[in-house]
Amino acid sequence: MKKIQLQPNTFLYPMPLVIVGTMADDRPNFITIAYCGIVQHTPPMISIASSKVHFSNKWIKRNRSFSVNIPSSDMIELTDYIGMYSGRETDKSEICELFCGDIPSAPMIKQSPLSLQCKLMESIEVGGVNEIFIGEILKVYANEDCITNGLPDITKLQPILFSMHDNNYWGVGKHLGKAWNIGKNFNPNTKKDGQ
C-alpha cells in the first residue's frame, strides 16, 4: 500500500470520552474531556488535559480533586451538551442526577456506569494552552450490572469513543482477541506488506 504524508497532528484513534466533575464553590460543574489517559497502574493515576480558558480548571486546582465519569452511549447528548456550554455562563449542576461519594468536592453523575474520584497530584502547564491534571484514583463507583467477574465490562459499559478531527462519536466494535495471548499465534517468519 502506498503511504502518503499528512501534516503533523494529534491523530490518535480512538479516544475515550469522559466527563470530569468538580465543585465551583457550592455548585457542581462538569466538562467533557477527550484528552484523558492512564499515567500509571500503582498507585492508580490518570491524566486529563484541559484548556486554560475553561471554567473547570480553577476549581480543580482549588479543590485539589475531580471526578472522572465514563459516559455510556445512551448519554451521548448529555456528554456533547456538557462539552458545548461553559459553567461560566451555564449552570450544568441540574442537568442530571448526581451523587457525591466519599469526596464531596468531586461530584459524580448517577447515570454514568463507572465513576472515579481523584485527588489532584500535580498540575502541569504545557505549550501555553493546556493544563494537565494528574489525579490519583482514590474511589471507584460502578453500576452493579456493568460488572463481570468483579471488573468493569466494556460490553456492558458501552463507552463512547471519539474521532476528533472529523467530530464523530462511535460505539464499541467487535471483540478481536485476548491480550497477552493472541500474539502466540503470530508467526515471525511471515511478513505482510499491508495489502
Q: Which residues bind ligand FMN (CB under 6 A)?
A: 17, 29, 31-35, 49-51, 54-56, 80, 83-88, 162
Nearer to ligand FMN, 49 or 98 (CB): 49
Residue/partner pairs of 85-89 with CB below 8 Å, 24 or more apart: 86/54, 86/55, 87/24, 87/27, 87/29, 87/30, 87/31, 87/55, 87/56, 88/55
Contact 87, 56 (CB under 8 A): yes
| Min dist. Cβ of residue 128 to ligand FMN (A) | 13
Q: Which is nearer to ligand FMN, 153 or 163 (CB)?
A: 163
Nearest to 52 by CA among 94, 92, 10, 86: 86
| Beta-bridge partners for 139 | 117
Smallest distance, Å, CB 187 to ligand FMN?
Answer: 40
Least distance to ligand FMN from the beta carbon of 148, Å?
A: 28
Least distance CB 151 / ligand FMN (angstroms): 26
The burial class, CB within 10 Å (0-12 / 13-18 / 19+), for 170 is middle
Judged by beta carbon, residue 27 or residue 110, the one nearer ligand FMN is 27
Task: Tell me which residue has its CB nearest to ligand FMN.
Answer: 83
Which of 111/163 has CB closer to ligand FMN?
163
Taking the C-alpha atoms of residue 159 and residue 146, their distance in angstroms, rounded to an integer, is: 11
Nearer to ligand FMN (CB atom), residue 17 or residue 46: 17
Nearest to 111 by CA among 73, 80, 148, 85: 73
Nearest-approach distance from CB 64 to ligand FMN, in angstroms:
17
